[in-house]
């Protein structure tokens, strides 16, 4: 008797079978992994050929898991699809399902190849995630270009260590000769200059006082502080304006060997300090993943010693307690930098009250602000009025006590040091402050630019509600203004000849500022901010470091590609505006050069002389030699806005976020008492907006890396949703 099929037994024919089922000539249900491979317990061998991926099972979780292995023969798009285990065609369906329910946005995994081809995790706050969002917006605005088709866009560029003997080979080769006293003194001074505020581990006077004794030490065995001295000398040689890279690598490898020999198994203060120095050297050498590992080792050792608890440090004597507190603060600074720039979880967590009146540290308090941005915004992928007001209140408190906190950090408030050197410690602190503002507000800038591009694409009339409400506009202006101020702050480096050739913190900040300036062009914000000058100055600063820093060289290439994309956008925008004016003028007075084009065999529409206005008159391009009016410069605030797809003009929008007259919370310090007493009263009213969920993954469907989607979660006006890109 034939089998009677029910509705549950009905199945669809799968479009693509896995390689195992093809080879065994078995039925495949088309999912990954398929049912046959699961029953045979060979899920890890379930593979599909290049092409559209199969549809996942309905019962699978919305949190996508990593595959156990990924073929390196695939292209970047197919490899990422294989790792994410989700088909491109179903991402949009998944997005609509998440938007329909007010549920937390699922965590997507972001992977990017390192220099060796391995996949590394990159989070939402990472610079590379921001860069991918900018590429998406540029491609949506002007199409493909050198910036969007960068061959290294899927790579995490890092520098390889010089081809010298491995640091473990010092076990057989013997110790490294110590430098002379004048040379060691100069390298220590260079170390203090380059790492001011970042590595406040030691006092220069203490290092120089013990230096002769260390240099005169015998060769019976390594002294307890030999690893620290060798690593300090390595960083000094690495940042020196002279060509001392070989000497720096030699000192670094030997100092790393001594660290493994003396401090690997038992945690101690020198162990934490040595691993911090190793991580700093690797950061300067553009080896961020290796530095991240060393930082984790230092963090674990610090927790084992109880450095994360102030009450534990208070049990020790004065000098020991101060050393423990300084070591923990430096660890927090490096951890904040690495976590924010790579988008990875923090290795440390602050248990102290960084806003206390006693022993207030501006660096420690700023690290707490960074941590709050990461945990309250990027980790939750949610932003609301309360969160922005809370973090902005912390910013205002920080600016009010800025000068007071410089004393605890040992930083001079002057722009130049007594020897004529720029105060790099003060620069580090200020640029980190601007970076924290950019990190908080850049989702609003991306959302703003996305809406602008979508409005141009949909050919709809703009309104103030569509472009952005006053609260959003203020946060957008805050992001762009901080980028411009970062570039202006770092322009001081041009006036100094012997600048340290490797400053990873400054290179990071100027790259972020350049990216913000570039994306702001796509939102026509060049009418309110000097973006042309900011983007050019950012490239000039990176050019100073690109001769020796691989990462700075890579960042310079990216900004140069972005500069060309911005020039293309501005040229098209101004040309469309000029053509619109010509159509209006030609409809009234006629155009003589159209008759010349007709005589050359070109078809042109001749307007009726009795018509006073004709919106459909097409004006051909002027012949060669025709003197065209100069298009308005993008950095002039007096030019009117023009959308490439519209013939109507829009009034200019001002940037009210920072005014020179009312900047009472600026870094110049003025009425601190007023700010401390009533800093809650400063313009919280402009931050009233509906809570929203930020989907940070935004790219193209054929490239599911780093998608970003913002939509409103308002209870009253939910019909103003962000357009789908």
| Percentage above 70 pLDDT, the chain | 67
pLDDT exceeds cutoff 80 at 467: no
pLDDT, mean of residues 414-432: 88
Question: Which range in 74-83, 414-423, 567-576 is most confidently predicted, on average pLDDT?
Answer: 567-576
Alpha-carbon distance of 168 to 170, in angstroms, equals: 5
pLDDT at 592: 80
Using the Cα atoms of residue 129, residue 284, residue 334 and residue 196 in order, give the sign of their dihedral: negative
- Per the prediction, the chain carries an average pLDDT of 74
The residue extents of the domains of the chain are: 13-50, 170-285+287-348
| Percentage above 90 pLDDT, the chain | 42
Alpha-carbon distance of 570 to 64, in angstroms, equals: 40
pLDDT exceeds cutoff 80 at 140: yes
pLDDT exceeds cutoff 70 at 153: yes
pLDDT exceeds cutoff 50 at 427: yes
pLDDT exceeds cutoff 90 at 288: yes
> Which of these, 343, 355, 347, lies nearest to 328 by C-alpha position?
347
pLDDT at 505: 96
pLDDT at 611: 37
pLDDT, mean of residues 107-124: 78
pLDDT, tens digit, for every residue of 349-372?
999 999 998 889 999 999 999 999
When pLDDT is cut at 50, 70 and 90, the band that residue 471 belongs to is low
Alpha-carbon distance of 285 to 279, in angstroms, equals: 10
> Which of these, 240, 159, 163, 164, lies nearest to 195 by C-alpha position?
240
User: In the CATH scheme, what is the code of domain 13-50?
Assistant: 4.10.240
pLDDT at 717: 39
> Which of these, 361, 365, 406, 392, lies nearest to 665 by C-alpha position?
392
Alpha-carbon distance of 32 to 82, in angstroms, equals: 10
Cis peptide before 33 (omega within 30 of 0): yes
Alpha-carbon distance of 51 to 38, in angstroms, equals: 22
When pLDDT is cut at 50, 70 and 90, the band that residue 384 belongs to is confident
Alpha-carbon distance of 136 to 515, in angstroms, equals: 13
Q: What's CA 495's distance to the chain center, in Å? A: 27
Question: Which range in 210-214, 433-437, 634-638 is most confidently predicted, on average pLDDT?
Answer: 433-437
Residue with tokens 């939102």: 523
pLDDT at 582: 81
More confident residue, 1 or 442: 442
Which two three-digit tokens encode residue 24?
A: 């065994």
pLDDT at 598: 46
Alpha-carbon distance of 598 to 666, in angstroms, equals: 62
When pLDDT is cut at 50, 70 and 90, the band that residue 688 belongs to is low
pLDDT at 383: 81
Which two three-digit tokens encode residue 48?
A: 């599909």
| pTM of the complete model | 0.71
pLDDT at 607: 41
pLDDT at 685: 44
pLDDT, tens digit, for every residue of 15-33?
678 888 888 878 888 787 8
């Amino acid at each position: 008797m034939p089998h009677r099929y029910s509705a549950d037994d009905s199945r669809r024919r799968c479009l693509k079978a896995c390689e195992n089922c093809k080879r065994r000539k078995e039925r495949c249900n088309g999912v990954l992994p398929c049912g046959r491979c699961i029953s045979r317990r060979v899920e890890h061998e379930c593979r599909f050929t290049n092409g559209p991926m199969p549809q996942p099972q309905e019962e699978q979780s919305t949190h996508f898991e990593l595959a156990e292995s990924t073929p390196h023969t695939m292209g970047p798009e197919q490899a990422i699809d294989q790792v994410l285990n989700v088909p491109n065609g179903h991402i949009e369906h998944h997005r609509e399902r998440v938007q329909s329910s007010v549920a937390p946005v699922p965590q997507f995994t972001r992977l990017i190849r390192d220099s060796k081809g391995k996949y590394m995790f990159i989070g939402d706050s990472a610079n590379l995630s921001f860069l991918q969002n900018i590429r998406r917006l540029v491609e949506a605005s002007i199409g493909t270009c050198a910036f969007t088709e960068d061959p290294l866009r899927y790579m995490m560029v890092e520098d390889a260590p010089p081809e010298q003997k491995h640091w473990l080979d010092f076990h057989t080769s013997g110790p490294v000769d110590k430098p002379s006293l004048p040379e060691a003194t100069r390298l220590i001074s260079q170390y203090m200059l380059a790492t001011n505020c970042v590595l406040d581990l030691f006092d220069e006077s203490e290092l120089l006082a013990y230096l002769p004794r260390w240099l005169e030490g015998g060769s019976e065995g390594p002294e307890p502080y030999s690893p620290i001295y060798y690593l300090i000398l390595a960083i000094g040689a690495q940042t020196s304006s002279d060509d001392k890279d070989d000497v720096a690598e030699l000192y670094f490898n030997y100092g790393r060997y001594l660290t493994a020999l003396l401090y690997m198994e038992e945690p101690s203060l020198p162990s934490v300090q040595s691993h911090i120095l190793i991580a700093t050297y690797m950061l300067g050498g553009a080896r961020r993943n290796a530095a991240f590992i060393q930082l984790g080792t230092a963090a674990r050792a610090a927790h084992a010693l109880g450095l994360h608890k102030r009450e534990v440090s208070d049990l020790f004597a004065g000098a020991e307690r101060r050393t423990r507190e300084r070591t923990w603060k430096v660890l927090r600074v490096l951890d904040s930098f690495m976590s924010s720039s790579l988008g990875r979880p923090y290795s440390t967590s602050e248990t102290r009250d960084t806003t206390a009146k006693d022993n207030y540290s501006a660096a420690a308090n700023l690290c707490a602000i960074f941590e709050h941005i990461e945990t309250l915004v990027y980790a939750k992928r949610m932003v609301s009025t309360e969160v922005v007001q809370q973090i902005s209140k912390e910013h205002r408190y920080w600016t009010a006590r800025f000068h007071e906190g410089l004393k605890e950090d040992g930083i001079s408030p002057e722009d130049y040091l007594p020897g004529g050197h720029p105060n790099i410690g003060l620069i580090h602190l200020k640029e980190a402050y601007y970076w924290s503002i950019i990190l908080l507000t850049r989702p609003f800038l991306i959302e703003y630019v996305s809406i602008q591009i979508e409005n141009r694409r949909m050919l709809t009339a703009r309104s103030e509600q569509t472009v952005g409400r006053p609260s959003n506009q203020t946060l957008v202006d805050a992001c762009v203004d901080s980028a411009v101020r970062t570039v202006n702050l770092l322009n001081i480096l041009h006036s100094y000849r012997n600048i340290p050739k490797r400053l990873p913190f400054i290179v990071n900040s100027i790259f972020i500022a350049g990216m913000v300036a570039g994306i702001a062009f796509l939102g026509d914000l060049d009418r309110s901010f000097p973006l042309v000058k900011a983007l050019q100055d950012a490239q000039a600063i990176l050019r100073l470091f690109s001769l020796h820093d691989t990462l700075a060289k890579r960042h310079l290439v990216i900004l140069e590609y972005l500069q060309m994309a911005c020039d293309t956008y501005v040229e098209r925008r101004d040309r469309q505006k000029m053509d619109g004016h010509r159509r209006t003028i030609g409809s009234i007075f006629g155009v003589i050069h159209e008759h010349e084009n007709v005589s050359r065999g070109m078809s042109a529409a001749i307007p009726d002389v009795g018509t006073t206005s004709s919106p459909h008159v097409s004006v051909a391009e002027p012949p060669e030699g025709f003197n065209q009016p100069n298009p308005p410069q993008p950095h002039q605030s007096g030019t009117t806005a023009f959308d490439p797809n519209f013939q109507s003009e829009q009034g200019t929008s001002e940037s009210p976020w920072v005014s020179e007259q009312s900047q009472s919370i600026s870094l110049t310090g003025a009425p601190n008492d007023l700010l401390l007493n009533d800093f809650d009263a400063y313009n919280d009213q402009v931050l009233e907006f509906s809570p929203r969920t930020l989907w940070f993954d935004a790219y193209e469907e054929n490239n599911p890396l780093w998608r970003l989607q913002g939509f409103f979660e308002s209870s009253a006006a939910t019909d103003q949703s962000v357009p789908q890109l």
